Chains A and B, each alone.
Chain A
Amino acid sequence: MEVTVAMLSLIIVFMLIYLVRRRRWEKKLKEWEQQLAVILQRTIYFEPPENSSPVIPLTFRTIRLLKKNAFRQLLIDQMLQAKKAFTGTAADNLVTLFHQLHLDKLSLQKLLSRKWHLKARGIQELSIMHQQQHTVKIYRLTNAQHELVRMEAQSAIVQLYGFEGLRFLDIIDRPLSEWQQIKLLRLLSRTPGVLPAKAARWLASPNDSVQVFALKLVAEHQQQHLHQQVTACLDHPHPTVRLQAIRCLRDIYTDDTPAVLEKAYPVQPISCKLAILEALAHIGSDSNGTFLTRQLLHPDNTLKLAAARALVITGEKGLQYLDEFPLADTYPLNEIIQQAKTEQIV
Chain B
Amino acid sequence: MKILVAEDEPILIRTIEVRLKKDGHELCLATDGQQAMDRLAEFVPDMIITDIMMPYASGLEIISFTRQQEKRKIPIIILSSMGQEDVVLEAFKLGADDYITKPFSPNELSVRVRRLLSV
Q: Could you tell me the distance between the alpha carbons of A83 and B107 in the complex, rounded to whole angstroms?
A: 15
Within 8 Å by CB of A90, from B14, B82, B102, B105, lies B105
Interface string of A171-194 (1 = CB under 8 A from B): 000000000000000100110000
Give residues of chain B (58-105) contacting chain A, Cβ–Cβ below 8 Å: 82-83, 102-105
Interface status of A57 (Cβ within 8 A of chain B): no
Contacts A84-B103, A86-B106, A90-B105: A44 and B15 contacting too (C-beta < 8 A)? yes
Interface string of A51-95 (1 = CB under 8 A from B): 000000000000000000000000000100111111111110000
Interface status of A342 (Cβ within 8 A of chain B): no
Whether A87 pairs with B11 at a CB distance below 8 angstroms is no
Q: Could you tell me the distance between the alpha carbons of A213 and B3 in the complex, rounded to whole angstroms?
A: 47
Q: Could you tell me the distance between the alpha carbons of A189 and B105 in the complex, rounded to whole angstroms?
A: 21
Please name all residues of chain B whose beta carbon is closer than 8 Å to the beta carbon of A186 when the two chains form the complex. 83
Chain A, Cβ-Cβ closest to B101: A87
Interface SS, B side: helix
Within 8 Å by CB of A87, from B9, B10, B18, B105, lies B105
Contacts A45-B19, A186-B83: A85 and B12 contacting too (C-beta < 8 A)? yes
Whether A86 pairs with B18 at a CB distance below 8 angstroms is no
Chain A, Cβ-Cβ closest to B105: A88
Whether A37 pairs with B14 at a CB distance below 8 angstroms is yes
CB of A134 to closest CB in B, whole Å: 22
Whether A41 pairs with B108 at a CB distance below 8 angstroms is no
Q: Could you tell me the distance between the alpha carbons of A89 and B104 in the complex, rounded to whole angstroms?
A: 10
B interface residues, tally (CB under 8 Å) = 18
Whether B11 pairs with A85 at a CB distance below 8 angstroms is yes
Please name all residues of chain A whose beta carbon is closer than 8 Å to the beta carbon of B12 when the two chains form the complex. 85
Contacts A81-B9, A186-B83: A86 and B14 contacting too (C-beta < 8 A)? no
CB of B82 to closest CB in A, whole Å: 6
Contacts A41-B14, A44-B15: A85 and B83 contacting too (C-beta < 8 A)? no
CB of B61 to closest CB in A, whole Å: 23
Q: Could you tell me the distance between the alpha carbons of A45 and B110 in the complex, rounded to whole angstroms?
A: 13
Please name all residues of chain B whose beta carbon is closer than 8 Å to the beta carbon of A81 when the two chains form the complex. 9, 11
Whether A88 pairs with B108 at a CB distance below 8 angstroms is yes
Chain A, Cβ-Cβ closest to B83: A186
Interface status of A144 (Cβ within 8 A of chain B): no
CB of B25 to closest CB in A, whole Å: 16
Please name all residues of chain A whose beta carbon is closer than 8 Å to the beta carbon of B103 when the two chains form the complex. 83-87, 91
CB of A183 to closest CB in B, whole Å: 12
Q: Could you tell me the distance between the alpha carbons of A85 and B12 in the complex, rounded to whole angstroms?
A: 7
Whether B82 pairs with A190 at a CB distance below 8 angstroms is yes
Q: Could you tell me the distance between the alpha carbons of A186 and B84 in the complex, rounded to whole angstroms?
A: 12
Please name all residues of chain A whose beta carbon is closer than 8 Å to the beta carbon of B83 when the two chains form the complex. 186, 189-190
Q: Could you tell me the distance between the alpha carbons of A44 and B105 in the complex, rounded to whole angstroms?
A: 10
Whether B102 pairs with A85 at a CB distance below 8 angstroms is yes
Interface string of B1-34 (1 = CB under 8 A from A): 0000000011110110011001000000000000
CB of B20 to closest CB in A, whole Å: 12
Leading 3 A-B pairs by shortest Cβ distance: A88-B105, A87-B103, A82-B11
Which residues in B have some Cβ–Cβ distance to A below 8 Å?
Answer: 9-12, 14-15, 18-19, 22, 82-83, 102-108
